[in-house]
Amino acid sequence: MNLVVDIGNTLVKTAVFQNNKLLEKRTFSKEKFSKEFDIIQKNYPLITKCIISSVSKDDEKFQNKLKANYKTFFLDDRVKLPFQNGYATPNSLGKDRIAVVAAAVDQYPGKNVLIIDAGTCITYDLKTCEEKYLGGAISPGINLRFKSLHKFTANLPLVTPKPEPGIIGNSTETSILSGVINGIKMELKSTAEWYLSEFEDLTIIFTGGDHQILSMPLKNSIFANSNFLLEGLNFILEFNKTQ
């Protein structure tokens, strides 16, 4: 039984896997880590291995607690990856992007796959049918765009995301909603169409915390999976067990 831990800047996501099946996932603030970890330990005493992916530098106490209880792997430069990394700056490649590409290798072997992860940033990542990672793109996510409009202008309000805004906004708030949400949807559509025209039999995975708000304008060859990153981390853990 495996424990996957994804530590972000403010939130921690955990998932328990058994035989590659997701049994439970949790999302909580860093302040609740000890309490949540105790619950996981109590509910799943058969966990023996753990993988940690962290973007934070202040999580040593979390790492020490996990290491004290499980055989623990860290997603870092020393971890073996199940794909050929063609990124020109591999040391700067985000751990979230590594995880979703690993999930694509596991679940769609021998296929061209584009993973679109709509989170704080919107990332586009391509792995080929030869299991080579080519790279992709990074774009500001929904809340980054809302916050930028509010912070770097004098009078624009901070807007809360809402799905399906109209194209023509009839107020400042609805105009911002239209510009941000519909602008991202058009970006998603045109980017997906370009990849579909360049790569044969392309499968597109749409994931991330904002994927439900955005929804993909294209339907063919597109699959939504909110657990793709966690599944990728579990696959990396399993892959390194055999190395």
pLDDT, tens digit, 9 for 90 and up, residues 87-99 = 999 989 999 999 9
- Predicted local confidence at residue 97, as pLDDT: 95
Binding residues for substrate: 87, 94-97, 172
Q: Are 127 and 83 in contact (CB under 8 A)?
A: yes
Positions at the binding site for ATP: 6-13, 120
Question: Read out DSSP for 209-230?
Answer: TTHHHH--S--TTEEE-TTHHH
End-to-end CA distance of the chain: 18
Structure tokens, 43: 């509910």
C-alpha 55/C-alpha 22 separation (Å) is 23
pLDDT tier at 215, thresholds 50, 70, 90:
confident
Q: Which CATH architecture has domain 84-227?
A: 2-Layer Sandwich (3.30)
Q: Which residues pair with 203 in a beta bridge?
A: 113
Residue ranges at the known binding site for K(+)? 117
Q: Say which residue, 30 or 179, is predicted with more confidence.
A: 179
Type of residue found at 32: K
- For position 222, what pLDDT does the model report? 84
> Is the pTM here over 0.95, yes or no?
no
The rounded mean pLDDT for the chain is 92
Q: At residue 158, what is the residue type?
A: L
Q: Which residues are the active-site residues?
A: 96
Query: Distances from the Cα of 98 to the Cαs of 3, 163, 206, in angstroms?
Result: 18, 29, 15
Check pLDDT > 80 for residue 221: no
Side-chain-side CA neighbours of 51 within 13 Å: the count stands at 26
Distance CA 96, CA 124 (A): 11
Spatial neighbors of 177 by CB under 8 A, at least 6 apart, are 159, 161, 162, 165, 169
pLDDT digits 0-9 by tens, 46-83: 999 999 998 776 667 778 889 999 999 999 878 899 99
Pairing of strands 84-85, 113-118: unpaired
Specify the pLDDT at position 26: 95
Q: What is the DSSP string of 82-127?
A: SSEE--SSGGGS-HHHHHHHHHHHHHSTTS-EEEEEESSEEEEEEE
Every domain range in the chain assigned CATH 3.30.420.40: 2-74, 84-227
Binding residue positions: 6-13, 87, 94-97, 117, 120, 172
Does pLDDT of 210 surpass 90? no
Label residue 217 by pLDDT band (50, 70, 90): low
Report the percent of the chain where pLDDT is more than 90: 77
User: Distance between CA 232 and CA 97 in Å, rounded?
Assistant: 10
CATH top-level class for 2-74? alpha beta
In what helix (H) or strand (E) does residue 132 lie, and over which residues does it extend? strand 132-140
